[in-house]
Amino acid sequence: MNTSPYIIMTATTAYAEFTLPQRYKTDRSSPVRWLASHAFRHWYLWIVMAIGAFSNAALAAAIPVYTGQAFNAVLAQPPRAEILIRIALLIVGTQILRSMLQLARNFGAELIGQRLERDIRDELYASLLGKSMTFHSLQPMGDTMARATNDVREINLMFNPGINLVVGSFNFLIMPLLVAPRYHPTLILVPLCYIFLYLLALAQYLHELQPITAGVRKTFGTMNTRLAEALDGIETVKGAAQEQAEVTRFARAARAFRDAFVRQGDVEARFLPLLLLGLANAAGLVHAIILFRRGLIDVGNIVAYMGLLQMLGFPTFVSLFAYSQVSSGISAGARILELIKRETELDQNAAGYAAGMQGSILFDRVCFRYGDGEPALEHISFEVEPGQTVAIVGQTGAGKTTLVKLVNRTYDVCGGSVRVDGVDVRDWNLEALRRQISIIEQDIFLFSRSIAENIAFGQPHATREQIVEAAKAAQAHEFIMAFKDGYDTVIGERGVTLSGGQRQRLALARAFLTDPRILILDDSTSAIDSDTEDKIQRAIYAAAHGRTTLIITHRLSQIRWADKVVVLRKGRVAAVGTHEELLERSEAYRRIFAE
């Protein structure tokens, strides 16, 4: 089995937090070139498909040729039965060969489609992992999933049956041009005129169809976004008894998707080549009869010629489906490529600083804003020594969480700098920086895997003993062993089968196992009950020993043993000092606890 390819960008340049080693290059200058650069890696399969398509059409053309000969044999005086037997055997033999070659053609096309679906899905997934949190915060998850699933599938279908039928139908178009002149040179005129008019009509059809298929893909993404939002917030929907309102909103999105498909069907219903085909058959018959009456061709030639004109029916009828499938695939490719090329501000910086971390942090006149909004942080300056524990406090919306996420470059500063061990975090190798920093957030995310796998997420090669030790340090071992399967218990997505306190203790265990040099706790004990709080506090205190710890908290029990307290107010540093110092001289600090 081929390993999944890793792709890099050639026509454009963007940044990525995470990239895979390059295996081959793709041209991202346009959707068509991007798809072609993927497809023509499998050039040998294209050769198989082309040979199969030409042979299929040529052997299909043999049927009207042999049929015409059979008519002449029947009309001969006396009828020549021996020729009929030979013709019958030839037809059987050619069609058996045709079926085998057609199988090879379809197999080649299917293989190309499946490989492209795999390769593009891999490329998109790697690209999404490389995007910054700013990108993921603004990009609707439902639309992303629509592009990663349905749009990628559309590209597969574009190649098979889409392009497979296009290649096959093209060969059916040229066969009357190649074979008809054998009966009389002027018989090439009708198929030649038809093909010219067919190509003009097809160009107009595709021009009209392309924006409509793009609209179909877009409305599907919008519908999927609505579905994902409703399911992700199902607890809120049910809690507010808004099921009917959400059904109405989804129905509106589904109606827009349906209307886009109806517009596509309307364009397909007005497909002009269907009319041209009827006119071509009529004109061809009249032409052949004229030549017959002049004694230039015989009855068998007329039968063969009309059979050749019937071959034009295949490309005409499949065009309705095949070219709309190709147009849909190109539109899907454009949506996927747009997502891949969407710029992200953060760079993996593979050649950056990657030494072992001591843990000093310096915020130097830091400013930050989300997009074009108002500044979330302004002129933040303070220093944290290696091994210090710093409590960050402030009212809701003061910018506490935003501040700590600048340390591991979840976000990048808009002004000033954040330095770790004296090195600007933007100059660090991003992987080396993040491997030595652990963040435990308020909203704990756990994967739908075993408890042991969740704890070892940051250290996948950890032994069971190490996992158990980390769980014990986080006061999680006791409740884990209460489950029937212990550490092998599979928990639901986001840890829905666990209580809030249990989820946070697993997150603590996960952080302890990675042994970070900088530990960031974002109000991570908010869901801990009073019976467990004292044990958790001791576990955090033990974990903080010897490493730099930033704690966002309102609990006095945690603030008191912090070496330093930073008070944020409206995105600015209001005061810095110890708990006792700030109680004496900081009104903003006293106001936090008074409220």
- Strand-pair partners of 24: 7
Q: How confident is the model at residue 25 (pLDDT cuts 50, 70, 90)?
A: confident
**For residue 38, is pLDDT > 60?**
yes
The more confident residue out of 241 and 355 is: 355
The reported pLDDT for the residue numbered 363 is 94
Cβ partners under 8 Å of residue 402, min gap 6: 368, 376, 377, 411
Amino acid at the residue 565: V
Q: What is the pLDDT of residues 393-445, one digit of tens each?
A: 988 888 888 999 899 888 888 999 999 999 999 999 888 898 899 888 777 78
In this structure, what DSSP letter does residue 359 have?
Answer: -
**For residue 65, is pLDDT > 60?**
yes
Tokens of 422: 């004296």
128 in Cβ contact with 336 (< 8 Å):
no
Q: How confident is the model at residue 349 (pLDDT cuts 50, 70, 90)?
A: confident
The reported pLDDT for the residue numbered 19 is 62
The more confident residue out of 473 and 372 is: 473
Q: Report the first-to-last Cα separation within the chain, whole angstroms.
A: 63
Q: How confident is the model at residue 6 (pLDDT cuts 50, 70, 90)?
A: very low
**For residue 503, is pLDDT > 80?**
yes
| Domains in the chain with CATH codes | 14-341 (1.20.1560.10), 361-594 (3.40.50.300)
Name which of 70-74, 356-360, 553-557, 566-570 the model is least confident about: 553-557
Q: What is the pLDDT of residues 453-502, one digit of tens each?
A: 999 988 888 999 999 998 988 888 988 999 888 999 988 765 667 877 78
**For residue 14, is pLDDT > 70?**
no
* Angle, helix 299-310 to helix 43-75, in steps of 10 degrees: 150
Mean pLDDT of 256-265: 88
Cβ partners under 8 Å of residue 362, min gap 6: 383, 384, 417, 418, 419, 422
The more confident residue out of 481 and 9 is: 481
**For residue 127, is pLDDT > 90?**
no
Cβ partners under 8 Å of residue 43, min gap 6: none
The more confident residue out of 121 and 228 is: 121
CA–CA gap between residue 41 and residue 269 (Å, rounded) = 36
Q: How confident is the model at residue 351 (pLDDT cuts 50, 70, 90)?
A: confident
Mean pLDDT of 555-564: 81
**For residue 9, is pLDDT > 50?**
no
**For residue 553, is pLDDT > 90?**
no
Q: How confident is the model at residue 225 (pLDDT cuts 50, 70, 90)?
A: confident
The DSSP-derived string for 90-157 is HHHHHHHHHHHHHHHHHHHHHHHHHHHHHHHHHHHHHHHHHS-HHHHHHS-HHHHHHIIIIIHHHHHH
**For residue 11, is pLDDT > 60?**
no
The position carrying tokens 């199969």 is: 52
Q: What is the pLDDT of residues 145-173, one digit of tens each?
A: 888 888 999 999 999 889 999 999 999 99
**For residue 373, is pLDDT > 90?**
no
The reported pLDDT for the residue numbered 8 is 37
Segment (H or E) for 590: helix 587-594
User: Coil, helix or strand for 89?
Assistant: helix
**For residue 525, is pLDDT > 80?**
no
When the pLDDT of each residue in the chain is averaged and rounded to a whole number, the result is: 85
